Amino acid sequence: MDDEPRTAGLNDKTKRPLGQSMSLGGDREKLAEYYAAWAETYDSDVGETDDKYGLPGSVLVALDTAVEQVPEIGDPGITILDAGCGTGRVAVALGAAGYRVIDGVDLSPEMVAIAERRTRSDGSPLYRRLEGGVDLTQPPSPAWSAHADLVVVGGVFTVGHIPPDAIHQVIKLVKPGGVLITTVRPGYYDTTDYAQVSAALTASPAADLVAEFASLPYTEDTDGRYFVYRINERS
C-alpha cells in the first residue's frame, strides 16, 4: 500500500487494499460502488488488530487529549457521531472506552450494513442509530445537524475520498461547544490544502484547534495526522 493512486477494476473480488480506494478521485458514485464491493472483506483487508489498523486506537489517544481540554466529552453518556463510519472500526474502540451513545453515517449502505451487525459485550447493538447514503461533502440533513457532542471522521480525509473543504460541512454535525476529531493521511496532507483549510477554520470564530498530532499509528503502511477541534457557537 502507498499513497500513489493505483487503478483497479471495481469488480475485482481479490484483496482490496486501501491504495485502490484512493484512486477514485473523490467521485461519489465510484466510491459508493467500490465500498459496496469491498464491505464484506474490508475488515480483514485493513487488518483486525491495532498493529495492522492503528487508526481507532489513535483516535482514543487524540480523544484523551481532547478530554483534558474539554472535560465534558469525557462523560460516557455524550452523543458521538462516527462520520464515515464504514464497518464500525472506530466505534468498536469508542465503545470499548466506555462510550454508550454512538451513531454512525456513511456514504456506503453496504459498509453501514456491516456496522449494523456489531454488538457490545452484553449483546446490545454497538450503534444507536446508523444511516447509509450520507455524503459528508453536502450540508447535513436536519436530523444530523448539530447532532453530536463529539464527531469523529476517521479515514475519510484521505486520497480520493473527500476534499479538505468538506470540513465546513462536517463541523455542522457538531453541537456548539462540542469536539471534532479528524484523521488525515500524510499523502493527502502533502498534496491537498488541508493544512490551509484547517488553519483558516481555526483562525475564524467557528472553531479552535485543541490539539494536532503529526504522527500516530494509522494504517499498516503509514502513520497519520490527527486533529482535534472545538466547535464554537455559530452566530
Ligand X SMILES: C[S@@+](CC[C@H](N)C(=O)[O-])C[C@H]1O[C@@H](n2cnc3c(N)ncnc32)[C@H](O)[C@@H]1O
Query: 182 with 168: CB under 8 angstroms?
Result: no
Decide whether 80 or 90 has the Cβ nearer to ligand X: 90
- Using CB under 6 A as the binding rule, whether residue 150 contacts ligand X is answered as no
Whichever of 82 and 149 has its CB closer to ligand X, that residue is: 82
What nine digits make up the cell of 181?
A: 476529531
Q: 70, 210 in Cβ contact below 8 A? A: yes
Q: What is the DSSP letter of 24?
A: S
The reply on whether position 116 binds ligand X by CB under 6 A is no
The answer to whether the beta carbons of residues 156 and 84 sit under 8 Å apart is yes
Q: Phi-psi region for residue 160, left (φ > 0), alpha (ψ -120 to 50) or beta?
A: left
Does 137 engage in binding with ligand X (CB under 6 A)? Answer: yes
Please, what is the minimum distance in Å from the beta carbon of residue 132 to ligand X? 9
Q: Given the complex with ligand X, which of 186 and 208 has the nearer CB atom? A: 186
Q: Give the residue, chosen from 95, 140, 155, 178, that forms a contact with ligand X under the rule CB under 6 A.
A: 155
* Closest listed residue to residue 140, CA positions, set 180, 163, 174: 174
Total number of residues that touch ligand X (CB under 6 A) = 23
Listing from the earlier edge strand, what are the strands of the sheet with 207-219?
129-132, 101-106, 79-83, 148-157, 174-184, 222-231, 207-219
CB of 9 to ligand X, least distance (A): 18
Work out whether 102 is an interface residue with ligand X (CB under 6 A). no
Q: Which of 136, 151, 174, 231 binds ligand X (CB under 6 A)?
A: 136
Of 102-110, 171-179, 190-198, 224-232: span binding ligand X (CB under 6 A): 102-110
Does 135 engage in binding with ligand X (CB under 6 A)?
Answer: yes
Q: How far is the CB of 233 from ligand X (least distance, A)?
A: 26
Q: Which of 17, 19, 54, 84 binds ligand X (CB under 6 A)?
A: 84
Binding letters toward ligand X, positions 16-55, x by CB under 6 A: --x---------x--x---x-------------------x
Rounded to whole angstroms, the Cα distance separating 136 from 169 reads: 7
Confirm or reject binding of residue 86 to ligand X (CB under 6 A).
Answer: yes
Residue 146's alpha-carbon distances to 149, 202, 204, in angstroms, are 8, 18, 18
Question: One symbol per residue from 198 to 217: x for binding ligand X (CB under 6 A), - otherwise; what is it?
Answer: --------------------
Instruction: Kindly provide the residue ranges of all beta strands, DSSP E only, lying in the chain, ordered along the sequence.
Output: 79-83, 101-106, 129-132, 148-157, 174-184, 207-219, 222-231
In the complex, the residues that contact ligand X under the rule CB under 6 A are 18, 28, 31, 35, 55, 84-86, 89-90, 106-108, 111, 134-137, 154-156, 161-162
